[in-house]
């Protein structure tokens, strides 16, 4: 597979690459990103390989990320319309202003206008709500977003880091009022962060939303740079966020073992595993150096065996919130009566073995 093996994003006609290029590391204001020259090398290489999906956010590196992306495309006339450009709103860029961030109408419109200025474009293809705003009615947020679509400032809408119940409420509100729907979810998802499988992934599958995992390498923990008892290399970000916990090393070790068997990197294995999870459209890779990008894109050629997938699934199996595990464990037993339905077998609820005909 290559980056130009495009896939549609959710229930839409938008065609995107199987890996999205995340620009969170463009700019050095956060303490671990890269400069303009390296950022542009990464962008150009991704596009040269057939990639067409670039994602950023208004407050990434204090706005510098959007500016780097905007300057890059402005210097290459005609290229901007050939890519799917996404950004996010929510982060307050104006300390002291309570309306500088969030998902109220005033904040949304001002933030999007500022992003378009930094991106040096009239529109973005995909606009993300970056977080849940509990202080704004969902109707206000969704109507303001629909107005932006009508105004031509964005083509599609997505949600990121929002609770399942709120996401369902928002998309239902949009559908019932014939407003622009949510077509994609951007969520933290990796072998070290699988709790989205309880609520958000089933929601995305049911509602026709594509899933874009962020931090698919768990902040670098699954990249191969960490191993038990060894001093990690290239940990510019790790020096800030710290290293893996002892409880995370069984997963890291299992990924490394599969990588060794296949003769590839741990990063390639972790990304290949994630690409094949239900609902996932395009993991977001956020390289800080050009060689990081090459290492991530190597996942396009990795083919995991059924046995390897099972091993990785089992070692990284999450404990999910109630009622997911309860329903998974007892649901078939209580409803199927010992039969197999849609390939899922069941046993008979034990008390029924003795008392099924008592009453």
- For residue 82, what is the domain's CATH number? 3.20.20.100
Q: Are residues 341 and 226 in the same domain?
A: no
Structural domain harbouring 337: 331-355
Active-site pick, 60, 123, 156, 189: 60
CA–CA dist 344, 169 (Å, integer): 30
- Inside any domain, residue 2: no
Amino acid 357: pLDDT: 57
Catalytic annotation on 60? Answer: yes
| Same domain? 218 vs 293 | yes
- The answer to whether the beta carbons of residues 35 and 71 sit under 8 Å apart is no
Structural tokens at position 235: 């940990």
With 0-12 / 13-18 / 19 or more C-beta atoms within 10 angstroms meaning exposed / middle / buried, residue 229 is exposed
Q: What is the pLDDT of residue 71?
A: 98
Please tell me the distance from the alpha carbon of residue 214 to that of residue 86, in angstroms, as a whole number.
14
* One domain, residues 70 and 150: yes
Q: Which of 263, 267, 175, 157 shows the shortest CA–CA distance to 221? A: 267
pTM: 0.92
Residues 206, 116: one domain? yes
Kindly state whether residue 325 falls inside one of the protein's structural domains: no
Instruction: Give per-residue pLDDT as tens, 243-271.
Output: 899 999 999 999 999 999 999 999 999 99
Q: What pLDDT score was predicted for residue 241?
A: 66
Assess whether 266 and 341 both reside in one domain: no
18 token code pair: 């199987």
pLDDT confidence of residue 29: 87
Pair 198, 347 in one domain: no
For residue 321, is it within any domain?
A: no
- Those residues of the chain that have pLDDT short of 70 are 233-241, 351-359
Q: Report yes or no on 150 lying in a domain.
A: yes
Model pLDDT for residues 89-134, shown as the tens digit of each residue: 999 999 999 999 999 999 999 999 999 999 999 999 999 999 999 9
342 and 293 within one domain: no
Q: Check if the beta carbon of residue 236 is closer than 8 Å to that of residue 200.
A: no
Domains contained in the chain, number: 2
Estimate the crossing angle of helix 164-176 against helix 138-150, to 10 degrees. 50
Instruction: Check residue 73 and give its pLDDT.
Output: 98
């Amino acid at each position: 597979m290559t980056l130009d093996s495009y896939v549609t994003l959710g229930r839409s006609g938008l065609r995107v690459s199987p890996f999205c290029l995340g620009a969170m590391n463009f700019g050095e204001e956060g303490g671990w990103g890269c400069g303009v020259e390296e950022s542009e090398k990464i962008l150009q290489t991704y596009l040269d390989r057939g990639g067409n999906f670039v994602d950023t956010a208004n407050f990434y590196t204090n706005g510098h990320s959007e500016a780097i992306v905007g300057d890059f495309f402005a210097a290459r006339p005609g290229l901007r319309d050939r890519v799917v450009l996404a950004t996010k709103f929510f982060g307050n860029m104006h300390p002291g202003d309570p309306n500088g961030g969030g998902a109220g109408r005033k904040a949304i419109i001002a933030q999007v206008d500022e992003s378009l200025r930094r991106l040096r474009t009239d529109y973005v293809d995909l606009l993300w709500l970056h977080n849940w705003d509990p202080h704004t009615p969902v109707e206000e947020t969704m109507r303001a977003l629909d107005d932006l679509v009508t105004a031509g400032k964005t083509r599609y809408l997505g949600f990121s880091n929002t609770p399942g119940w709120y996401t369902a409420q928002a998309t239902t509100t949009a559908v019932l009022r014939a407003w622009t729907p949510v077509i994609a979810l951007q969520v933290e998802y990796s072998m070290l962060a699988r709790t989205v499988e309880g609520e958000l992934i089933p929601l995305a599958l049911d509602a026709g939303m594509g899933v874009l995992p962020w931090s698919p390498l768990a902040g670098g923990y699954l990249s191969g740079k960490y191993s038990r008892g060894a001093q990690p290399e290239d940990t510019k970000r790790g020096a800030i966020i710290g290293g893996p916990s002892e409880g995370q090393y069984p997963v890291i070790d299992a990924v490394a073992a599969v990588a060794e068997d296949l003769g590839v990197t741990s990063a390639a294995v972790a990304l290949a595993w994630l690409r094949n999870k239900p609902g996932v459209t395009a993991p977001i890779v956020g390289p800080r150096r050009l060689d990081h990008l090459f290492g991530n894109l190597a996942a396009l050629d990795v083919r995991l065996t059924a046995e390897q997938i099972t091993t990785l699934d089992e070692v990284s199996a999450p404990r999910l919130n109630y009622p997911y595990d309860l329903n998974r464990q007892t649901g078939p037993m209580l409803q199927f009566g010992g039969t197999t339905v849609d390939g899922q077998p069941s046993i008979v609820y034990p008390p029924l073995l003795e008392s099924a005909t008592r009453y």
